[in-house]
Structure 1
Amino acid sequence: MEIAHLAAGKAPALDTGDTAWLLAATALVLLMTPGLALFYGGMVRTKSVLNMLMMSFVSIALVTVVWLAAGYSLAFGDDSAGGLIGGLKHAGMAGLGPESLHGSVPTLLFATFQLTFAIITAALVSGAVADRAKFGAWLVFVPVWALLVYVPVAHWVWGPGGWILARLGALDFAGGLPVEITSGASGLALCLVLGPRLGFKKDAMRPHNLPMVMLGAGLLWFGWFGFNAGSALGANGLAAAAFLNTLAAGCTGLLGWLFVEQKRDGHPTTLGAASGAVAGLVAITPSCGTVSLLGALVVGLAAGVVCSYAVSWKFKLNYDDSLDVVGVHLVGGVIGTLLIGLFAVGEMTGGTKGLLYGGGAALLGKQLLAVAVVAVYAFAVTYGIGKAIDKVMGLRASEEQEHTGLDLTVHAETAYDHGVLGHGAPVAHSVPSVTQKVGSQA
């Protein structure tokens, strides 16, 4: 994430243009989480739609509280442990009044912008455990995970003195490491703790509402402009380049995925179009501020093609990543982060070049090391958190809840009257008292 540099000898000054753009970008990124809720909600079966939506929406509240209490200070406070974590000087947002500046924008705005990244990263993990995680356990998991996994990685990559930024010198403009790889590796760990859904590899588990999926993907794409271009932290040429690169990579990701579907299956699908666009956007996230337009087109295309194959690995390796968080976010994040080592251009990075532009293999090695450490750390800590929660309170819903559907059994609601789209038990006859309660709220 680009940090504004001040000219020597000049005091920080508020720039209203930069501030206005970052306000808009922050709202765009926050919109991505409801967009993700629709994207994921359309991909599950009718009996757990509301539960999927709730897992994203409740993440907004949980992560916000944790971020304001300690998360921001630990991630972006002055380093206190050799590049591993920040301090608690700004716990509870202490010392960050309206006049405090981060470069040319208010520090409170920068903190809020960063908060929206933390929110959607936590929400992304939910896609790996759809249909079978206890909602109560999710309420415990999210704040613990945010503090132990997301916050340290954010400090490594973007925080003052973070080891990936300051010592290793790997590049990540808008979140390939803290957001995409962290969520993907964490999703893999959590779905291994939970085990597969009932009927995995036996029953058809098709998306129940593809128009909802497409709407969610469209909102994600819209918000992604704030995610990537907003990471320039200013209304400037770098933001414009990141904006265009984001659009280009989303397009080639979509086309690449459809090409594979047509060649492999004989049918280009709406789900493939939505997934391909997201894969391209995932991959360009770390590289949007480091590669040229040509590089962005290649990054998006590579992600669309590779991720379209990667989503099927779960059937061969027997891990039930319900909504392909691993196949899209982990794999796409790795692709985008590594390709910086090939396609980085000095005009975007301030001098650092990738292998294909005469920079040698050093940057590629740095990117590879950063990817490996972040993926292993996120997987290991998330696996430990998941196991601990499972032992204390149980992480998985009961077999009866999973069979009937989490919407009715956990939230006492249904997304569709009488289950007319038909997955799971008939609502009107199976639990009449709950149905009457839900009907009275309409």
Structure 2
Amino acid sequence: MNVADTSFILVCAALVMFMTPGLALFYAGMTRSKNVLGTLMQSFIMLGLISILWAVVGYTLSFGGDIGGVIGGLDFFALSGVGMDTAGSPADNLPHLLFMVFQCMFAVITPALITGAFAERMKFSALLVFSSFWLILVYAPMCHWVWGGGWMDEIGALDFAGGAVVHMSSAAAALAACLVIGKRKGHGKDPFIPHNLPMTLLGAGILWFGWFGFNAGSALAADGLAANAFVTTHLAAAAATLGWLLVERIHSGKPTTLGAASGAVAGLVAITPAAGFVTPMAAIIIGAVGGVACYGGVLLKSLLGYDDSLDVVGIHGIGGTWGALATGVFASIGAEGLFYGNPAQLWIQFESVVATWVYCFVVSWVLLKLVDGFMGLRVSEEDEVRGLDVSEHSETGYQY
């Protein structure tokens, strides 16, 4: 066990944990005031629900002994054999419990990301059921495929910190949810104006802060690779913020606060799969292109007619996909991409992107249909008009 690495990853795990409340603020500020608590709750509850499921079954399905390249075995069921030393840990410099809880924080935020797609209209009870099965049937297999010795790992797909595992998987599920649940009442007719953009900007700042633990921590050591991931993460977010605001200024006439917050997150998403594989200058390119591409991705929902309330597909889907492909182009640290004489890596990245979108979308769509059939996914029209704060939680976010 390396004491310096252990100290560093303990801090990184706490940073990633803090991202989920940050995401809650980022999302909640973009909703109408009658849904602020319901939106906050949909993210915050994942700290409770997913953490317990991860400890009991999610971790072992992700990092247990490989079964056919598809799923992990039950070696670590209920944290059996997961102790304070390095025995059995995929990172032999860290206590096994630390590696487990660091990965737990990734598992927590991923289903929370999905909630932005159906904000303001999904039952809380249905969310809990869907998220529980989604962790087991979608997230755990994806995590095993990429990081647990599964088939994507075997073919050499590069995903440093979760472009496929976290962002594309949640975006595919978000798209399925938009199609199954349907549009918000009044969508396309009534104004859906963010009620608290300062809250959203605060949430974006917390996400940016926590993302250093997300990406730099994925080096699993306090070393130069972690430093590189830290720098590439920051520069990509900075470039994407500027890229988003530039194209927003050209397209709509003025740069906005919401655009700055969205652009920052777009850059953070785009650099996630590449953070440890690319140089800082490549990260600036990845971030800038990511900001522009995600702005275009957000516009797609109007063209295609689906109601992605808080732009999960446009930012996490487009950003994660671009980042995965860009890794195959710009990788030069620990692996070589297209620009460094290895065009095969770009093809491998493309295969991983297609497989992620297809698997996660299909399984998520089936799960949503099943939950809808058994208990209904959506609140009643009356409850939607009243707002989820009162109808689902008997509370109000603001007292006037």
Structure 2 length-normalised TM: 0.98
Question: Is 1:357 matched up with 2:340?
Answer: yes
Matches within 5 A, 1:25-424: 25-80=12-67, 82-101=68-87, 102=89, 103-160=92-149, 162-166=150-154, 168-345=155-332, 348-349=333-334, 352-359=335-342, 361-418=343-400
8 Å CA contact 1:201–1:315 kept in 2: the answer is no
Instruction: Give the Å deviation of 1:100.
Output: 3.3
**Alpha-carbon RMSD:** 0.8
What secondary structure sits across from 1:311 in the alignment? helix
Once the two structures are superposed, what CA deviation does each residue of 1:191-232 show, in whole Å capped at 9, x if it has no partner?
Answer: 111000011111111111000000000000000000000000
Shift in Å at residue 409 of structure 1? Answer: 1.2
- Which residue identity does 1:358 align to in structure 2? G
Write out per-residue CA displacement over residues 361-415 of structure 1, whole angstroms, 9 at most, x where no aligned residue: 2000000000000111000000000000000000001000101101011111111
Report how far residue 119 of structure 1 moved.
Answer: 0.4
Separation in 2, partners of 1:189, 1:20:
40
Unaligned runs of 5+ in 2: none
The whole-number CA distance in structure 1 between the counterparts of 2:231 and 2:30 is: 29
SS at structure 2 position matched to 1:208: coil
Q: Structure 2 CA distance, aligned partners of 1:120 and 1:229?
A: 17
**2:23 alignment partner AA:** L
Q: Percent identity?
A: 53
Q: Which amino acid letter does the alignment assign opposite residue 109 of structure 1?
A: L
**Counterpart residue type for residue 227 of structure 2:** A
Secondary structure of the corresponding residue to residue 117 of structure 2: helix
**2-structure distance, mates of 1:356, 1:204:** 46
- Separation in 1 of the partners of 2:42 and 2:360? 20
1 CA distance for matches of 2:202 and 2:218?
Answer: 24
Can you list the C-alpha shifts for 1:99-156, whole angstroms capped at 9, x where unaligned?
A: 2343101010000000000100010000000000001101111111100000000000
Report the count of equivalent residues.
397
Deviations 1:63-87 (A, max 9, x none): 111111111011011102x100010
Is the contact made by 1:185 and 1:330 (CA closer than 8 Å) also made in structure 2? Answer: yes
Amino acid at match of 2:55: L
- Equivalent AA in structure 1 for residue 148 of structure 2: G
> 1:416 deviation in Å?
1.1
- Structure 1 CA distance for aligned equivalents of residues 175 and 347 of structure 2: 25
- Amino acid aligned to 2:378: R
Give 3-state SS (helix, strand or coil) of 2:65's partner: coil
Report the 3-state secondary structure (helix = DSSP H, G, I; strand = E; otherwise coil) of the residue aligned with 2:72. Answer: coil
Q: 1:181 aligns to what SS in structure 2? A: helix
CA separation in 2, counterparts of 1:262 and 1:98?
53
Q: How far did 1:272 drift? A: 0.1
How many angstroms does 1:341 deviate by?
1.2
CA distance in 2: counterparts of 1:94 and 1:68, whole angstroms: 10
Amino acid corresponding to residue 367 of structure 1 in structure 2: Q
1:96: how far off? 1.4
Could you tell me how far apart the structure 1 residues matched to 2:251 and 2:178 are?
28
Decide which structure has the larger Cα Rg and report it: 1
How far off is 1:277 after superposition?
0.3
Deviations 1:34-89 (A, max 9, x none): 00000001010001000000001111111111111111011011102x10001001
Shift of 1:353: 1.1
The question of whether the paired residues in 2 share the 8 Å contact of 1:47 and 1:407 is answered with yes
| Structure 1 residue runs without a partner (length 5+) | 1-13, 419-442
* TM-score normalised by length of structure 1: 0.89
The residue type paired with residue 310 of structure 1 is G
